[in-house]
Copies of this chain bind each other. A is one copy, B any other.
Amino acid sequence: MGVVTGDGTVGKALSVLDQVAGMGRPVRMRELLETSEFPKPTLYRLLQTLTNQGMLTYDTEAQTYAPGIRLVRLAHVAWSQASLAPIARPHVDALAANLREAVHVAQIDSGQVVFVDKRQASTKFSTLAQAGQVAPAYCTGVGKAILAFLPEEDLEQALLQQAFHRYTPATHTSADTLRAELETIRAEGIAFDREEHAAGIISIAAPILTPARRVVGSISIATATNRHSLEGLKAFRPALTECAHKIGAEAQSWQPPALP
């Protein structure tokens, strides 16, 4: 698949790393070969390199590759620096305190929503098992809230390489219907997930905008349909947008990859 930016060797290695991580379980080289864009010896060497570097671990017995601990180490720094989580934390605390619903903070990474903070009603702490989880952008409240406020060309870029999978009857299955909804979201400043990703789960989400109106993430309140209706969720809107606004005011301004 032709990446537009077309970076060199490092890009190839990282795409393999992504592929391994994407499998969600230890994999053998053979399995990767089927999906991979690389011929056998190249893939073999890339895997070897990544293993030598500690980005992957290799189980000699099962002959499988899996993401390595070095990533965990790096991620700790990433999470505490590059993510919104530390900035958002106090505000999310305040929001969640008055609430019995789940609160999610997300950022976007190549078409996928990455949750950087997740509060369940029952838990006061975000756990690593939860932070870092991903979901598709096009069928979640947090995802759509971000997409709607992305600059034109970034959005097109994201939509272009988006495969639409139908999770529920309500899931968007084409860029066109999604684009139409994003229009509405942009106008209203608020996004809803109407059981589009999982049946019975709805959410209300607000974008996190910097003072310069760059979208850096989003925050949502999610609940189950047997607890609240969509109309009921709307009651949370003022608190949610206020919280998003406060976070945005503090957020640094990030720049996506600068293309020449």
Q: Which residues of A contact B (CB under 8 A)?
A: 5, 7-11, 13-14, 17-18, 21-22, 24-26, 46, 49-55, 57-62, 66-83, 85, 107, 109-110, 112, 114, 116, 123, 125-129, 131-134, 252-255, 257-258
Contact = CB atoms under 8 A, between A and B. Distances in A.
Contacts of A133: 76
Most buried by B among A10, A21, A68: A10
A250 to B, nearest CB: 14
Contacts of A132: 72-77, 79, 128
B21 A77 contact: yes
Given A8-B49, A13-B10, A71 B75 contact: yes
27 contacts: A7-B52, A10-B13, A11-B52, A11-B53, A21-B74, A21-B78, A51-B258, A54-B110, A57-B254, A59-B252, A60-B258, A66-B81, A67-B75, A67-B81, A68-B78, A69-B82, A69-B83, A71-B82, A72-B75, A72-B82, A75-B76, A75-B78, A76-B134, A79-B129, A125-B127, A126-B128, A128-B131
A10 B53 CA distance: 8
Given A79-B129, A79-B132, 17 more contacts: A9-B9, A10-B50, A11-B53, A14-B53, A14-B55, A21-B74, A21-B78, A51-B257, A51-B258, A61-B253, A66-B81, A67-B74, A67-B81, A68-B109, A70-B109, A73-B109, A77-B132
A209 B69 CA distance: 17
Nearest to A112: B73
Given A128-B128, A132-B128, A253-B61, A78 B82 contact: no
Contacts of A67: 74-75, 77-78, 81-82
A223 to B, nearest CB: 22
A129 B58 contact: no
Q: Please give the count of copies of this chain that the complex contains.
A: 2
A66 B9 CA distance: 21
A79 B69 CA distance: 7
A79 B22 CA distance: 13
A189 to B, nearest CB: 24
Contact of A128 (B52, B110, B127): B127
Which 4 residue pairs spanning A and B have beta carbons closest together? A76-B132, A75-B75, A67-B78, A128-B128
Contacts of A68: 78, 82, 109
A51 to B, nearest CB: 6
A74 B67 CA distance: 8
